[in-house]
Structure 1
Amino acid sequence: MSIEDLVVLFVVLFVGGVLKGATGIGVPIVAVPVLAAYLNLHLAVAVIMLPSVVTNGWMLWRLRAERPPTHFFYTIPVGTLAGIAAGVTLLASLPDRYLNLGVAGAIVVFLMSRAIRPSWRLGPAAERILSLPAMFFVGLIQGATGISAPVVMMYLSSLGMERAQFVFCVSLLFFVASVAQVPAMAVAGLFGPFELLLGLLALVPSMLGIPVGDRIARRMSVVWFDRVIMMMLVGLAVKLAASGFAG
């Protein structure tokens, strides 16, 4: 890997940290597709695990005064952990081309959900019924691809949460998912000392980006910032889809 490639990866991880600091969602959705273009997807998902744990833990600490509905504290860990167990099995058994197509599909769903912005909201009764299966699906996608933001965005946005509570719930979910995914991937032979070392290196630009994103969010429209990221993701989705179909 050339110096230019390393600079690209550093910038991408930094941008992921910036987006994380601004919106609560960032490092995996931005970094995994780019890392997968340079590494295989299995290694890309493994490398991003440590940055995911630390950045989400940091966001939880910053927003610790925000509290989601009480039932989220059991539906998130139970549903997500069960889904991750199934998702990691897919990651270990499926060829890269199918996983690349899966990531591309996840990005497309994410972009569509952001563009459509449905105005409807789930009622309290429906939300309680759908909470556990929704968290399972989040874990499934997280375990298989490392990118569950599309499902998270669609589900939480349908609840009409305030921004601070939304970011707290996103960070809580991703923190639980990441903490659970690390040992699951280790058992599957996908996470070891080498991946840990790469994760420590990836953590530096990710953490550097968070305070920058926080400052940006205070001075500019997050909607405008999201549009820039979505344009970036369109190109990444096309690239990964092309790689998947070509493979």
Structure 2
Amino acid sequence: MNAGVIGATFVVAGFVKGVTGMGLPTVAMGVLGTLMLPAQAAAMLLVPSFVTNVWQLFAGPDVRALSRRLWPMMAGITAGTVAAASFIAGGGGVWAVAGLGAALMLYAAAGLLAWHLPVPARHERWLSPVIGAVTGVVTGGTGVFVVPAVPYLQGLALQKEELVQALGLSFTVSTIALAIGLAREHAFAIDDLRASLFAVVPALVGMWIGQRVRGCISGITFRRCFFVCLLALGVELSARAFV
């Protein structure tokens, strides 16, 4: 894989995260999934995803209070991801690519249609671990962290800064759990670690640029273009399973 292609991919992915607060693993998996096996792409995004998400996590107001509230969801993410990682790391093959495409299309559709489902406080105790487990299964099978965690977190009564921090917490836990799952399946080697470390700098550069231009562009327009591009990537990846 050309180092320039990898670097450019993570600059773009970091830029999207800098503007929107999410999207680095989604963009990276979507682009790299067209060029390599999903397990290879997932291994490559681990370190830059972890670094940028920890940065996002600790930039918020109170990580301890948020962790106490969301720990059942994080436990579900961890269990689901580790359990399902054998699919993306093993014999899933072309169906893992199709699953990645389907996850991208679902996420893009949710964004374009502005789905917002309020979560009543009385349901949060049992719904959080369920959403976490489902997100974990999707993460372990496709390498994408966002479905259904992002719509669920957006439905909670969180302030803007808390939401960004909650997304950082969810993505950080997902990244760690995916690393554990891939390592358990012997799908994360030293060479993958070197490539993942290489991707950190372009990801941080892209994120820095995105944060600087966040106030200079229309967030609504940018998100719409972002979701349209994700939808196109998802269609292309899904179609590969049937060609």
TM-score scaled to structure 1, two decimals? 0.90
**Alignment map for 1:1-247 (pairs within 5 Å):** 1=1, 6-65=3-62, 68=66, 70-72=68-70, 74-246=71-243
Q: Report the Cα distance in structure 1 between the residues aligned to 2:67 and 2:186, rounded to whole angstroms.
A: 36
CA contact (8 A) 1:16 1:27 kept: yes
Q: Report the Cα distance in structure 2 between the residues aligned to 1:100 and 1:94, rounded to whole angstroms.
A: 12
Shift of 1:181: 2.0
Shift of 1:120: 4.1
Q: Report the Cα distance in structure 2 between the residues aligned to 1:239 and 1:222, rounded to whole angstroms.
A: 26
CA contact (8 A) 1:18 1:26 kept: no
TM-superposition CA deviations, 1:136-191 (whole Å, max 9, x none): 11111112211021312221122243322111011101111212221321121100
Shift of 1:65: 4.2
Shift of 1:91: 1.8
Q: Report the Cα distance in structure 2 between the residues aligned to 1:158 and 1:231, rounded to whole angstroms.
A: 22
| Unaligned residue ranges in structure 1 (runs of 5+) | none
| Unaligned residue ranges in structure 2 (runs of 5+) | none
The count of corresponding residues between Structure 1 and Structure 2 is: 242
TM-superposition CA deviations, 1:36-73 (whole Å, max 9, x none): 2111111011111111111111111222446537321x
